[in-house]
Protein backbone atom coordinates (compact mmCIF):
# COMPACT_ATOMS: atom_id res chain seq x y z
CA UNK A 1 0.00 0.00 0.00
CA UNK A 2 1.32 3.40 -0.92
CA UNK A 3 -1.01 5.20 1.46
CA UNK A 4 -2.15 3.50 4.60
CA UNK A 5 -4.05 5.12 7.47
CA UNK A 6 -4.83 3.10 10.62
CA UNK A 7 -7.13 4.53 13.29
CA UNK A 8 -6.07 8.04 12.39
CA UNK A 9 -7.48 10.74 14.64
CA UNK A 10 -6.85 14.44 14.24
CA UNK A 11 -7.80 16.86 16.99
CA UNK A 12 -7.30 20.62 16.60
CA UNK A 13 -6.73 22.84 19.63
CA UNK A 14 -6.39 19.87 21.87
CA UNK A 15 -7.33 20.30 25.57
CA UNK A 16 -8.67 23.76 24.94
CA UNK A 17 -12.27 24.97 25.01
CA UNK A 18 -12.35 25.23 21.21
CA UNK A 19 -11.18 21.66 20.71
CA UNK A 20 -12.36 20.14 17.40
CA UNK A 21 -12.15 16.49 16.50
CA UNK A 22 -11.72 16.59 12.74
CA UNK A 23 -11.06 12.89 12.09
CA UNK A 24 -12.17 9.97 14.21
CA UNK A 25 -10.31 6.67 13.98
CA UNK A 26 -10.12 6.67 10.20
CA UNK A 27 -8.84 3.61 8.31
CA UNK A 28 -7.95 4.02 4.68
CA UNK A 29 -5.71 2.17 2.25
CA UNK A 30 -4.83 3.33 -1.24
CA UNK A 31 -2.74 1.09 -3.44
CA UNK A 32 -0.22 2.32 -5.96
CA UNK A 33 -1.70 3.47 -9.26
CA UNK A 34 -5.22 3.98 -7.88
CA UNK A 35 -7.35 7.10 -8.26
CA UNK A 36 -9.56 8.02 -5.31
CA UNK A 37 -12.10 10.73 -4.92
CA UNK A 38 -12.77 12.31 -1.48
CA UNK A 39 -16.23 13.77 -1.12
CA UNK A 40 -18.04 15.48 1.67
CA UNK A 41 -19.51 18.77 2.84
CA UNK A 42 -17.19 21.49 4.09
CA UNK A 43 -16.19 20.98 7.71
CA UNK A 44 -16.49 17.25 7.31
CA UNK A 45 -12.78 16.62 7.79
CA UNK A 46 -12.08 16.18 4.09
CA UNK A 47 -9.32 18.79 4.00
CA UNK A 48 -7.77 17.42 7.17
CA UNK A 49 -7.65 13.98 5.62
CA UNK A 50 -6.04 15.42 2.50
CA UNK A 51 -3.50 17.32 4.61
CA UNK A 52 -2.48 14.15 6.45
CA UNK A 53 -2.13 12.22 3.19
CA UNK A 54 -0.18 15.20 1.87
CA UNK A 55 2.29 15.09 4.80
CA UNK A 56 1.42 18.62 5.82
CA UNK A 57 0.93 17.60 9.43
CA UNK A 58 0.97 14.27 11.25
CA UNK A 59 -2.18 12.79 12.85
CA UNK A 60 -2.81 13.29 16.55
CA UNK A 61 -3.27 9.57 17.06
CA UNK A 62 -2.96 6.52 14.85
CA UNK A 63 -0.62 5.39 12.14
CA UNK A 64 -0.18 7.11 8.82
CA UNK A 65 2.21 5.47 6.36
CA UNK A 66 2.69 7.59 3.29
CA UNK A 67 5.06 6.33 0.58
CA UNK A 68 6.94 4.24 3.07
CA UNK A 69 7.34 6.76 5.89
CA UNK A 70 5.44 6.85 9.14
CA UNK A 71 4.40 10.47 9.64
CA UNK A 72 4.01 10.60 13.41
CA UNK A 73 7.68 9.87 13.84
CA UNK A 74 8.91 12.60 11.51
CA UNK A 75 9.83 16.04 12.79
CA UNK A 76 8.49 18.98 10.83
CA UNK A 77 11.61 19.43 8.75
CA UNK A 78 11.60 15.82 7.54
CA UNK A 79 7.89 16.05 6.87
CA UNK A 80 8.74 18.81 4.38
CA UNK A 81 11.58 16.80 2.86
CA UNK A 82 9.36 13.76 2.54
CA UNK A 83 6.52 15.84 1.12
CA UNK A 84 8.56 17.26 -1.68
CA UNK A 85 9.85 13.83 -2.64
CA UNK A 86 6.51 12.04 -2.50
CA UNK A 87 3.64 14.44 -3.05
CA UNK A 88 2.57 16.71 -5.88
CA UNK A 89 -0.16 19.22 -5.04
CA UNK A 90 -2.81 20.76 -7.24
CA UNK A 91 -4.72 23.47 -5.39
CA UNK A 92 -8.23 24.72 -5.71
CA UNK A 93 -7.15 28.07 -7.09
CA UNK A 94 -3.98 26.58 -8.50
CA UNK A 95 -1.88 28.95 -6.34
CA UNK A 96 0.26 30.00 -9.23
CA UNK A 97 2.52 33.03 -8.65
CA UNK A 98 1.03 35.39 -11.23
CA UNK A 99 4.11 37.52 -11.97
CA UNK A 100 6.40 34.58 -12.65
CA UNK A 101 6.57 33.07 -16.09
CA UNK A 102 4.97 29.71 -16.84
CA UNK A 103 8.26 27.84 -16.81
CA UNK A 104 9.42 29.51 -13.59
CA UNK A 105 6.19 28.52 -11.89
CA UNK A 106 6.50 24.95 -13.08
CA UNK A 107 10.06 24.66 -11.80
CA UNK A 108 9.43 26.25 -8.37
CA UNK A 109 9.59 22.96 -6.38
CA UNK A 110 13.01 22.20 -7.91
CA UNK A 111 14.76 25.31 -6.60
CA UNK A 112 15.53 24.18 -3.06
CA UNK A 113 16.59 20.77 -4.37
CA UNK A 114 19.66 22.33 -5.95
CA UNK A 115 18.70 21.40 -9.50
CA UNK A 116 20.75 23.36 -12.02
CA UNK A 117 18.98 25.86 -14.28
CA UNK A 118 19.65 23.72 -17.34
CA UNK A 119 18.10 20.52 -16.03
CA UNK A 120 15.31 22.57 -14.49
CA UNK A 121 14.52 23.91 -17.91
CA UNK A 122 14.74 20.48 -19.50
CA UNK A 123 12.38 18.89 -16.99
CA UNK A 124 9.89 21.74 -17.19
CA UNK A 125 10.03 21.83 -20.99
CA UNK A 126 9.26 18.13 -21.20
CA UNK A 127 6.21 18.48 -18.94
CA UNK A 128 4.94 21.63 -20.61
CA UNK A 129 5.32 19.85 -23.92
CA UNK A 130 3.35 16.84 -22.68
CA UNK A 131 0.61 19.06 -21.31
CA UNK A 132 0.48 21.11 -24.49
CA UNK A 133 1.37 24.53 -23.07
CA UNK A 134 4.95 24.77 -24.30
CA UNK A 135 3.98 27.71 -26.50
CA UNK A 136 3.18 29.68 -23.33
CA UNK A 137 6.51 28.87 -21.73
CA UNK A 138 7.81 32.40 -21.23
CA UNK A 139 4.51 34.17 -20.67
CA UNK A 140 3.78 35.57 -17.23
CA UNK A 141 1.32 33.25 -15.55
CA UNK A 142 -1.20 36.05 -15.12
CA UNK A 143 -1.60 36.27 -18.90
CA UNK A 144 -2.62 32.69 -19.64
CA UNK A 145 -6.11 31.23 -19.75
CA UNK A 146 -7.85 29.20 -17.04
CA UNK A 147 -7.30 25.92 -18.86
CA UNK A 148 -3.63 26.66 -19.33
CA UNK A 149 -3.33 27.68 -15.71
CA UNK A 150 -4.74 24.34 -14.70
CA UNK A 151 -2.26 22.49 -16.90
CA UNK A 152 0.52 24.58 -15.44
CA UNK A 153 -0.61 23.56 -11.95
CA UNK A 154 -0.47 19.93 -13.04
CA UNK A 155 2.98 20.41 -14.52
CA UNK A 156 4.20 21.89 -11.26
CA UNK A 157 2.76 18.96 -9.31
CA UNK A 158 4.62 16.51 -11.53
CA UNK A 159 7.94 18.31 -11.88
CA UNK A 160 9.70 16.34 -9.19
CA UNK A 161 8.31 13.05 -10.44
CA UNK A 162 6.37 12.47 -7.24
CA UNK A 163 4.45 9.17 -7.01
CA UNK A 164 1.37 10.71 -5.36
CA UNK A 165 -0.75 13.53 -6.81
CA UNK A 166 -3.20 15.30 -4.51
CA UNK A 167 -5.77 17.62 -6.03
CA UNK A 168 -7.92 19.82 -3.80
CA UNK A 169 -11.18 20.77 -5.50
CA UNK A 170 -9.35 21.17 -8.80
CA UNK A 171 -12.47 21.70 -10.91
CA UNK A 172 -14.24 24.15 -8.60
CA UNK A 173 -13.46 27.10 -10.84
CA UNK A 174 -13.53 25.37 -14.21
CA UNK A 175 -16.35 24.89 -16.69
CA UNK A 176 -17.43 21.36 -17.56
CA UNK A 177 -15.27 21.12 -20.67
CA UNK A 178 -12.13 22.05 -18.78
CA UNK A 179 -13.16 19.76 -15.93
CA UNK A 180 -13.40 16.86 -18.33
CA UNK A 181 -10.05 17.84 -19.82
CA UNK A 182 -8.60 17.77 -16.35
CA UNK A 183 -9.96 14.31 -15.65
CA UNK A 184 -8.56 13.10 -18.97
CA UNK A 185 -5.11 14.27 -17.99
CA UNK A 186 -5.53 12.64 -14.59
CA UNK A 187 -6.51 9.31 -16.08
CA UNK A 188 -3.47 9.56 -18.34
CA UNK A 189 -1.33 10.03 -15.26
CA UNK A 190 -3.04 7.16 -13.55
CA UNK A 191 -2.11 4.95 -16.46
CA UNK A 192 1.44 6.18 -16.14
CA UNK A 193 1.39 4.73 -12.63
CA UNK A 194 0.69 7.75 -10.44
CA UNK A 195 -1.47 7.44 -7.37
CA UNK A 196 -4.09 10.16 -7.37
CA UNK A 197 -6.37 11.54 -4.67
CA UNK A 198 -8.90 14.21 -5.63
CA UNK A 199 -11.30 16.00 -3.30
CA UNK A 200 -14.35 17.22 -5.13
CA UNK A 201 -18.07 17.93 -4.95
CA UNK A 202 -18.21 17.81 -8.69
CA UNK A 203 -20.21 14.83 -10.12
CA UNK A 204 -18.07 15.11 -13.26
CA UNK A 205 -15.14 14.04 -11.14
CA UNK A 206 -16.82 11.49 -8.92
CA UNK A 207 -18.60 9.75 -11.78
CA UNK A 208 -15.59 9.68 -14.04
CA UNK A 209 -14.77 6.10 -15.11
CA UNK A 210 -11.13 6.43 -14.08
CA UNK A 211 -12.07 6.90 -10.43
CA UNK A 212 -11.54 3.62 -8.59
CA UNK A 213 -13.15 4.44 -5.29
CA UNK A 214 -15.14 7.22 -3.75
CA UNK A 215 -14.50 8.09 -0.12
CA UNK A 216 -17.35 9.89 1.63
CA UNK A 217 -16.20 11.95 4.57
CA UNK A 218 -18.84 12.89 7.06
CA UNK A 219 -18.36 14.25 10.58
CA UNK A 220 -14.83 12.97 10.73
CA UNK A 221 -15.73 9.45 9.68
CA UNK A 222 -15.36 7.86 6.28
CA UNK A 223 -17.25 5.43 4.10
CA UNK A 224 -15.57 3.93 1.09
CA UNK A 225 -17.63 3.00 -1.97
Partner 1 sequence: MKVLLEKHLNILDFALSTIWRRKQKNISIFVVFSAVIFLLASFQMLTRSLTSLAQDTLKETPEILVQKLSAGRQTGLPVVYSDGLTGIFGIKKVVPRIWGYYFSEVTGANLTVMGLDFSEMPMADQIDLTLEEGRYPEKGEAGVVVGRQVEEVLQLGGRTTISLFRPDLSLKGFTVTGRFADEASLLTGDLLVTGLKEARDLFALPRDQVTDLCVYVANPREISTIAAKISDIFPDTRVLTRSQILKTYQVVFNWRSGFGSICLLTALAAFIIMAWDKASGMSAEERKEMGILKVLGWETSDLMALRFWEGVVVSVLAFITGCTLAFIHIVFFQAALFRPVLLGWSVIQPPLQLLPEFSLADLLLIFSVTVLPYLAATVIPAWRCASVPSDTALQG
| 41/141 Cα distance (integer angstroms) | 31
Give, as ranges, the residues between 158 and 187 that touch partner 1 (CB under 8 A): 160, 168-169
Neighbouring residues of 124: CB distance < 8 A, sequence distance ≥ 6:
103, 106, 107, 155, 159
Residue 209 touches partner 1, criterion: CB under 8 A: no
Residue 85 C-alpha from the chain's centroid? 13
- The C-alpha angle with vertex 191 and arms to 218 and 211, in degrees rounded to 5, equals 25
Give, as ranges, the residues between 114 and 133 that touch partner 1 (CB under 8 A): 114-117, 120
Looking at 9, 60, 80, 187, which residue binds partner 1 (CB under 8 A)?
Answer: 80
Q: Which of helix, strand or coil describes residue 165?
A: strand
Q: Least distance to partner 1 from the beta carbon of 24, Å?
A: 19
| 142/121 Cα distance (integer angstroms) | 20
| x-or-dash string of contact with partner 1, 26-65, rule CB under 8 A | ---------------------x--xx--x-xx--------
What DSSP designation does 45 have? S
Do 8 and 61 contact (CB within 8 A), yes or no?
Answer: yes
Q: Among the candidate windows 58-66, 96-104, 142-150, 178-186, which touches partner 1 by CB under 8 A?
A: 96-104
Residue 9 touches partner 1, criterion: CB under 8 A: no
Q: Which of helix, strand or coil describes residue 58?
A: coil
Residue 224 touches partner 1, criterion: CB under 8 A: no
Do 2 and 67 contact (CB within 8 A), yes or no?
Answer: yes
Residue 109 touches partner 1, criterion: CB under 8 A: yes
Residue 77 touches partner 1, criterion: CB under 8 A: yes
SS3 of 71-117: the string is HHHCCHHHHHHHHHHHEEEECCCCCCCCCCEHHHHHHHHHHHHCCCH
143 or 184, CB closer to partner 1? 143
18 or 209, CB closer to partner 1? 18
Instruction: Please give the size of the binding site for partner 1, defined by CB under 8 A.
Output: 37
Looking at 108, 185, 204, 214, which residue binds partner 1 (CB under 8 A)?
Answer: 108
Q: Least distance to partner 1 from the beta carbon of 77, Å?
A: 6
Q: Rule CB under 8 A: which residues touch partner 1?
A: 47, 50-51, 54, 56-57, 76-77, 80-81, 83-85, 89, 91-93, 95, 97, 99-100, 104, 108-117, 120, 156, 160, 168-169
Amino acid sequence: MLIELRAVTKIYNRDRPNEVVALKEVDLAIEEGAMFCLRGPSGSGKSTLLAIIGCIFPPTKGRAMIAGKQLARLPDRFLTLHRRRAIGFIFQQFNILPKLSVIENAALPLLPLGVSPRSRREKADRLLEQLGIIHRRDFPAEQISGGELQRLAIARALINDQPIILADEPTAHLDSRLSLDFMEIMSGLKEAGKTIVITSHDPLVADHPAIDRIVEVYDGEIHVF
